[in-house]
Structure 1
């Protein structure tokens, strides 16, 4: 399969002075599971915002299905609808994404904006509410939801548009273990159903389960390397260099010992076994 979403030589600075990304290139194939990992502040969220069309890079290009995504192209109503229907972005902070009076309104907003008829939009909402266990929350205001419920509604508001590509910024961040497990399983099911998935994360356990192609961002805001999950997770020198694991020093008697700590257990999701 060919590339469905790509960035080439992307660079971006905040306030024209603070570097966030330096000469970053990625090529994501249709149906691929992909992850961008790196320490806090390395530029992961900025990269996803650029790929979603919410930010314009200072230099470099973004393409979706071979068509350039730019400030100019996004002013074209036909292209904008095509792009928004094809690429869905889930913010790290769900509060940024939720603005409608009720959960139902949040879920139906996207498809209606795409010009989908009200009947089909309602059918999509019912299907997504059932998928995400939101039936009992349909009339509740988003501000009255828990963090995990907000995350499910934010994801649902994108799924009702049925995009080909899902961009998820730190999807498991701040969630309790049960909600993390539910969300991880759901993302995997969406991948198995043919969706192209790109996540940003510093959660190495999520990487070990999801088994994506992995791009590693350095603290200098550039691509350190790209490889399989297994290759990346087994390279402790690399993970230490990009600040995803740390060295712990302690004494046994008078002898100083150093151990590397990664705070994750390496294992595969059963469906990734060959």
Structure 2
């Protein structure tokens, strides 16, 4: 899908150096936007946008990176708050330090970037913020208590920010992926006792029986930031193969009934 209306718009993507962020960056650039990558490891700069070292857990680092992006582009229209970290464990197992780290990055990171960007977004004719949320915000997943809580906060943050800033012409939405084939998920699989069995379990819990691709998530982000979505605000767009809403019979159950 072509989005010529993104031509000339300027974006920042946090966590844009890998995984979903890299796919979002590529999609925005293909649609004509200029993109600044904000990441701890942002990769090389490009003619259509700088690569900026940014730690979303540090307010000074965030403000400096956003200011550098605005200096490079002369404007800012799109913010994709994608930077995040995962965490495994139950509420009993997760330490205070782990809770603080996950919330600092996943929740306050999005807060810091949005706060630094808002003065510039208010001058944009097509301002949009998209948060990368997760199926974990709406569906209970085992051993993901801190991560799930952080993404639940992002969902609430999305709706509250949409209410606060829609009158200023700034749309705020989030995308809720299922389990995405990213470097982080690949590391989790590699650390499992039986990687093949773990991968099969991750695939099986999604109704379309496979992992979501980063490019599929990027396509959803591209829609949400496009002026074509000008009536879409405070929304979570699920890219999860139906995991949030569908309750399908297991294939073997269907086969046995048919027999």
Structure of higher CA gyration radius:
1
Structure number having the greater strand percentage? 1
Same-fold status (TM-score > 0.5): no
Q: Give me the TM-score of the superposition, normalised by structure 2.
A: 0.28
> Given the two structures, how large is their TM-score scaled by the length of structure 1?
0.27
With CA pairs under 8 Å and 6+ residues apart, which has the higher RCO, 1 or 2?
A: 1
Flag the structure with higher helix content: 2
